Amino acid sequence: MPKKLPQNIVPDYSREERYIVRGLGPVAGVDEAGRGPLAGPVVVAACILDPDHIPEGLNDSKKLTSAKREKLFDEILEHAHCSVISLSAAEIDRSNIRAVTLKVMVEAVHALAVKPGAILVDGRDWPDMPCAGEAVIKGDALSLSIAAASILAKVTRDRLMKQAAQFWPGYGFENHAGYGTATHLETIKRLGPCPVHRMSFAPLKS
């Protein structure tokens, strides 16, 4: 288990700069949102920040308020090269969640309008990326590029879950975003699963 980072740690641009000075820029950060929930998509984002226009306040998306994430989301899209890919519950059920997430991370990098010279990926797994880079455990709290990608992925997924709540009311997707809360599990028992539930995940699998 990786050690928990001190609360005063904030992401910086030092990892990106180490690649840039080696002639391996620009650097893309990659992160995902939604690997663990029982419902909804996995969303993967890739982001190449402009070093001269890095939005203030970038951090791990989980440490930010919803309002702050939304504000930063717009600023990132305005000043950075970005790509966001969503993978549906049905697509997740047809494959292994870990393998398919890593595959989509590569697709998100290829979808960038600018080809990166290096890539920083949140987590411990290194996908089969097309260039140099590294996996960074707790990268969304350490790298500004990964933090930006985490915000893009989180905001996009939250918006998709709010849309799902309109199509399938009663499940509370707008509140728990598909995670396996006690309320969500009780609702599944009462209403049964709906089309955005991941039937390959326990306890739905059984």
pLDDT band at residue 3 using 50, 70 and 90 as cut-offs: low
Q: Are 109 and 30 in contact (CB under 8 A)?
A: yes
| Within a domain: 1 | no
| Within a domain: 26 | yes
| Within a domain: 7 | no
Task: Report how far apart, in Å, the C-alpha atoms of 154 and of each of 2, 25, 117 are.
Answer: 22, 25, 25
Q: Are 24 and 67 in contact (CB under 8 A)?
A: no
| Within a domain: 103 | yes
User: 1 pLDDT exceeds 50?
Assistant: no
In 3D space, the residue among 158, 131, 146 whose CA is nearest the CA of residue 76 turns out to be 146
| Within a domain: 49 | yes
Q: What is the pLDDT of residues 41-80, one digit of tens each?
A: 999 999 999 999 999 999 999 999 999 999 999 999 999 9
Instruction: Read off the pLDDT of each residue in 151-155 and give the average, rounded to a whole number.
Output: 98
| Within a domain: 124 | yes
| Within a domain: 28 | yes
Domain residue limits at 179: 14-191
For 51, the enclosing helix (H) or strand (E) is none
196: amino acid identity, one letter: V
For 133, the enclosing helix (H) or strand (E) is strand 132-136
In 3D space, the residue among 188, 194, 162 whose CA is nearest the CA of residue 175 turns out to be 162
Q: Is 88 exposed, middle or buried (0-12, 13-18, 19+ CB in 10 A)?
A: middle
Using CA atoms in the order 133, 29, 100, 113, what is the torsion angle rounded to 10 degrees? -100
CATH number at residue 150: 3.30.420.10
Q: What is the pLDDT of residues 32-41, one digit of tens each?
A: 999 999 999 9
Task: Report how far apart, in Å, the C-alpha atoms of 139 and of each of 4, 16, 90, 106, 146 are.
Answer: 12, 12, 28, 17, 6
CA pair distance 51, 61, nearest whole angstrom: 20
User: 117 pLDDT exceeds 80?
Assistant: yes
pLDDT band at residue 7 using 50, 70 and 90 as cut-offs: low
- How many structural domains are present in the chain? 1
| Within a domain: 82 | yes
